[in-house]
Amino acid sequence: MDFIEALLRHNFLQNALFAGVLASIACGITGTFVVIKRITFISGGIAHTALGGIGIAYYFGVDPIIGASLSALFAAIILGIVTIKMNEQSDTVIGALWAIGMAVGVIFISITPGYNVNLMSYLFGNILMVSGNDLYILFILDIAIIIVVMFFFRQFISISFDEDYSKLRGLWVNTVYILLLCLIALTIVILIRIVGLILVIALLTLPAAISRIYLNRIVMIIIFSIIMGLLFTVSGLVLSYNSNLPAGATIIVIAGFFYLFALTFKKVFN
């Protein structure tokens, strides 16, 4: 097959494949919590605020992935506090930060002198441009996510299942919640590299949403989500390489169809 030959020959394809694997691990783990705690919208807010950081970093000549990480973490903390403090109007505030983050990003990118090809790659991702250095950063982020989730696994589940009871047990509910948002922020930074900002929420939530339809145990949902993520990124990569399509969008279209199929299948046969 073309792809296999190309894979052996081209370093950028190997990097792309590794990036897909690392992204699938991250989104399988944190995406599961996004789905079961139903915080897709706030995750969207974090993702779009990350563009602000990318723009600012770009303008000052810093590595955009650092700008993205810092602004996504900043957004996670701010949005976490906002949702805790103002329960009812929090979605309006999330929407505002969402827009501001994006706008700031676009402004800074546009005032940066030079040719701005990179804006598109952050909006829609470019898995084929992942460098060895990027892979190293993605790997570190993955390890960080795995370790934190391992330690806080039961607490994340507890605050998602029953926040009041967690409070009664004296758990630091708000701190644990903000920690979870920070992990989501880091995952989003990983995913932006692969599918870009516009599509990031899809890759974060679709594998877990598919697994959630069929599985009833969180560990199983995580494992299955990782497998789903791998399936989508690898098949998307192959398809986009063979047909000369944009990789990020191809990955998302495959994931989206899978989700709709899984949903229909369940509805029809249950």
* Contact range with another protein by CB under 8 A, out of 15-23, 169-177, 187-195, 262-270: 169-177
Asked if 47 and 72 count as a contact pair (C-beta separation under 8 A), the reply is yes
Out of 49, 83, 121, 160, the residue judged to bind another protein by CB under 8 A = 160
Least distance in Å: CB of 53 to another protein?
30
* Contact range with another protein by CB under 8 A, out of 6-14, 92-100, 170-178, 244-252: 170-178
* Contact range with another protein by CB under 8 A, out of 66-74, 96-104, 117-125, 159-167: 159-167
> Could you tell me the maximum CA-CA distance found in the chain, to the nearest angstrom?
59
What is the token pair recorded at 84? Answer: 């805790």
C-alpha dist (Å) from residue 17 to 11, 96, 226, 229: 10, 36, 14, 12
Question: Considering the rule CB under 8 A, would residue 10 count as an interface residue with another protein?
Answer: no
| Number of Cα atoms under 13 Å in the Cβ half of residue 52 | 19
CA distance linking residue 149 with residue 179, whole number of Å: 10
Question: Considering the rule CB under 8 A, would residue 117 count as an interface residue with another protein?
Answer: no
Q: Helices H, strands E: what count in the chain?
A: 12, 0
Closest to another protein by CB, 119 vs 171, is 171
Least distance in Å: CB of 152 to another protein?
7
Question: Considering the rule CB under 8 A, would residue 266 count as an interface residue with another protein?
Answer: no
Closest to another protein by CB, 5 vs 164, is 164
* Contact range with another protein by CB under 8 A, out of 72-80, 94-102, 153-161, 179-187: 153-161
Considering only residues 36 to 65 of the shown chain, the ones binding another protein according to CB under 8 A are: 36
Asked if 122 and 196 count as a contact pair (C-beta separation under 8 A), the reply is yes
Question: Considering the rule CB under 8 A, would residue 144 count as an interface residue with another protein?
Answer: no
Strand residues in 92-215 grouped as ranges (E):
none
Question: Considering the rule CB under 8 A, would residue 143 count as an interface residue with another protein?
Answer: no
Residue position matching structure tokens 């990097």: 15
CA distance linking residue 120 with residue 198, whole number of Å: 10
Closest to another protein by CB, 2 vs 164, is 164
Measured between its terminal Cα atoms, the distance across the chain in Å is 39
Question: Considering the rule CB under 8 A, would residue 157 count as an interface residue with another protein?
Answer: yes
Out of 151, 257, 261, 265, the residue judged to bind another protein by CB under 8 A = 151
DSSP state of 116: -
Closest to another protein by CB, 85 vs 169, is 169
Selection from 215, 214, 201 nearest residue 255 by Cα: 201
- Report the interface residues with another protein, using CB under 8 A: 36, 150-155, 157-158, 160-162, 164-172, 212, 215-218, 221
